[in-house]
């Protein structure tokens, strides 16, 4: 005999489904509402926060599959997706309101780290998340150029004496590139670097963010140590190209992050093959698969690969990096990296729910 579908049964089953952001069940987090049970029919609103925006569709499909598999007597199901409002909590000693802080680093320069950092921010924003990007590469700040705001001038200061980040089509951006004339070099020692990065975090009006992407300088240096001390980073993404000489440095970068207790969220293989437009053949100019192999050896998630394309270079030069998300040669690769990163973070939250962040004292 088929068991009758009841509201109590529905609520019991719902309590077993986990929110991808907090790692806690969706009943406790009040993410299901307007539950209507009529015979074998179930209608409800299911809410995920904008932090989970890149995996909304896959999570909704998983939610529906979960209900169909666990509710006896369910014959008809209608799930309405809604946005679950959840403000970001204050984190770190400066009280930034941000849910996830992700550093993007590389073992050496010239591997497209800044392009990947900008693409991550743009991909998260395109999916519906609230994103900011901090250009911590003080010696070679290229984020303003990539986002088309290199002529924005110095950031302003608000009535609270906070630096107002430059608005790049909805993404707040801070970079030393706004403050140093083009063509001039920044020649600083460690303490000055520490002061600049601290000021970007402490004295800026970032607003309420789901993600703050930090474009790190290449190599292993002071800034990773500074960040590990002043703000609890969610983790780091390491960018490299496939050839061995780049991978050797990427391994050192991973070792650095681990040494300062910054989790490594994954590796991205950039410049992974070139599809010639004349004959549609693939040429592995820098080799292929090196980052994926290294990621497996180091027990680090592999987030995906991005091919060499003329359009990525052209959009970077034109300050229209956002158009890479629409370009047929690069869009699928970049969106896969964003979705894989967020899905992996969700899996980690489910296994080990994050604890509330407290300010760093002393």
- For residues 77 and 96, state if they share a domain: no
**Domain membership flag for residue 271:** yes
CA distances in angstroms from 346 to 28, 266, 276, 281, 303, listed in the order given: 17, 14, 37, 37, 14
- For residues 101 and 69, state if they share a domain: no
**Domain membership flag for residue 322:** yes
User: Which residues face 168 on adjacent strands?
Assistant: 171
Cα 219 vs. chain centroid, distance in angstroms?
A: 21
Range of the domain at 341: 90-351
Tokens standing for residue 214: 């930090």
Domain boundary among 30, 60, 83: 83
- For residues 168 and 73, state if they share a domain: no
**Domain membership flag for residue 203:** yes
Give the Cα separation of 164 and 9 in Å (integer): 50
- For residues 32 and 114, state if they share a domain: no
Tokens standing for residue 20: 């991808």
pTM over 0.95: no
**What is the CATH number for 203?**
3.40.50.300
- For residues 341 and 297, state if they share a domain: yes
What pLDDT does residue 302 have?
95
Which of 10, 17, 50, 70 lies closest to 34, judged by CA? 10
Which pLDDT tens digits describe the chain residue by residue (362 residues)?
Answer: 456 788 999 999 999 999 999 999 999 999 999 999 998 999 999 999 999 999 999 999 999 999 999 999 899 999 999 999 999 988 877 778 999 999 999 888 888 899 999 999 999 999 999 999 999 887 788 999 999 998 887 888 899 889 999 999 999 999 988 877 666 666 666 667 777 788 888 889 999 999 999 998 887 667 777 887 788 899 999 999 888 877 888 888 898 889 888 999 999 999 988 878 888 888 888 877 888 888 899 999 999 999 988 899 999 999 999 999 998 888 999 999 999 999 999 988 877 777 654 444 33
**Domain membership flag for residue 1:** no
- For residues 11 and 104, state if they share a domain: no
The strand ranges marked E within the chain are: 32-38, 41-48, 76-83, 90-91, 96-105, 131-135, 156-157, 163-164, 166-168, 171-175, 209-215, 235-240, 264-269, 274-275, 282-283, 302-305
Instruction: State how many domains the chain has.
Output: 2
**Helix intervals (H) in 150-299:** 190-202, 222-230, 244-259, 290-298
**Domain membership flag for residue 21:** yes
Which of 288, 311, 295 lies closest to 241, judged by CA? 288
Tokens standing for residue 235: 């983790």
- For residues 59 and 20, state if they share a domain: yes
**Domain membership flag for residue 323:** yes
Which of 291, 362, 294, 293 lies closest to 333, judged by CA? 291
Give the Cα separation of 145 and 320 in Å (integer): 9
- For residues 144 and 65, state if they share a domain: no
**What is the CATH number for 67?**
3.30.300.130
What pLDDT does residue 3 have?
66
- For residues 54 and 173, state if they share a domain: no
**Domain membership flag for residue 360:** no
Secondary structure class of 243 (helix, strand, coil): coil
Tokens standing for residue 274: 């070139």
Contact 31, 19 (CB under 8 A): yes
- For residues 70 and 217, state if they share a domain: no
For 329-348, write each residue's pLDDT tens digit: 889 999 999 999 999 999 88
What pLDDT does residue 91 have?
84
- For residues 241 and 100, state if they share a domain: yes
Give the Cα separation of 18 and 350 in Å (integer): 7
Contact 136, 114 (CB under 8 A): no
For 85-127, write each residue's pLDDT tens digit: 999 988 877 778 999 999 999 888 888 899 999 999 999 999 9
Q: What is the full DSSP assignment across 81-100?
A: EEE---PPPEETTTTEEEEE
What pLDDT does residue 1 have?
43
What pLDDT does residue 68 have?
94
- For residues 133 and 258, state if they share a domain: yes
Domain boundary among 64, 83, 102: 83
Domain boundary among 83, 108, 136: 83
**Domain membership flag for residue 2:** no
């Amino acid at each position: 005999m088929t068991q009758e579908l009841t509201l109590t049964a529905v609520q019991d089953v719902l309590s077993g489904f986990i929110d991808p952001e907090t790692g806690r069940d969706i009943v406790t987090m009040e993410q299901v509402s307007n539950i209507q049970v009529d015979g074998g029919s179930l209608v409800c609103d299911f809410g995920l926060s904008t932090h989970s925006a890149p995996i909304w569709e896959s999570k909704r499909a998983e939610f529906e599959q979960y209900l169909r598999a666990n509710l006896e007597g369910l014959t008809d199901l209608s799930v309405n997706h809604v946005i679950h409002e959840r403000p970001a909590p204050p984190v770190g000693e400066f009280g930034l309101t941000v849910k996830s802080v992700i550093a993007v680093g590389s073992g050496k320069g010239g591997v497209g780290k800044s392009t990947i950092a900008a693409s991550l921010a743009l991909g998260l924003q395109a999916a519906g998340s609230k994103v900011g990007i901090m250009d911590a590469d003080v010696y070679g700040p290229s984020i303003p150029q990539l986002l088309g705001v290199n002529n924005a001038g110095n950031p302003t200061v608000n009535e609270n004496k906070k630096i107002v980040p430059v608005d790049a089509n909805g993404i707040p951006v801070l970079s030393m590139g706004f403050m140093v004339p083009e063509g001039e070099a920044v020649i600083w020692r460690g303490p000055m670097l520490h002061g600049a990065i601290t000021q970007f975090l402490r004295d800026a009006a970032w607003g309420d963010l789901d993600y703050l992407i930090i474009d790190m300088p290449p190599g292993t240096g002071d800034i990773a140590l500074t960040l590990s001390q002043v703000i609890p980073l969610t983790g780091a993404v390491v960018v490299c190209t496939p050839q061995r000489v780049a991978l050797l440095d990427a391994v050192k970068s991973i070792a650095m992050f681990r040494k300062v207790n910054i989790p490594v969220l994954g590796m991205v293989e950039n410049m992974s093959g070139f599809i010639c437009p004349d004959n549609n053949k693939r040429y592995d100019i820098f080799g292929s698969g090196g980052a994926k192999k290294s990621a497996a050896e180091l027990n680090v998630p592999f987030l995906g690969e991005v091919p060499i394309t003329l359009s990525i270079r052209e959009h970077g030069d034109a300050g229209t990096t956002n158009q890479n998300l629409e370009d047929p040669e690069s869009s699928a690769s970049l969106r896969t990296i964003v979705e894989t990163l967020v899905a992996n973070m969700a899996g980690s939250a489910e296994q080990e729910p994050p604890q509330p962040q407290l300010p760093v004292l002393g």
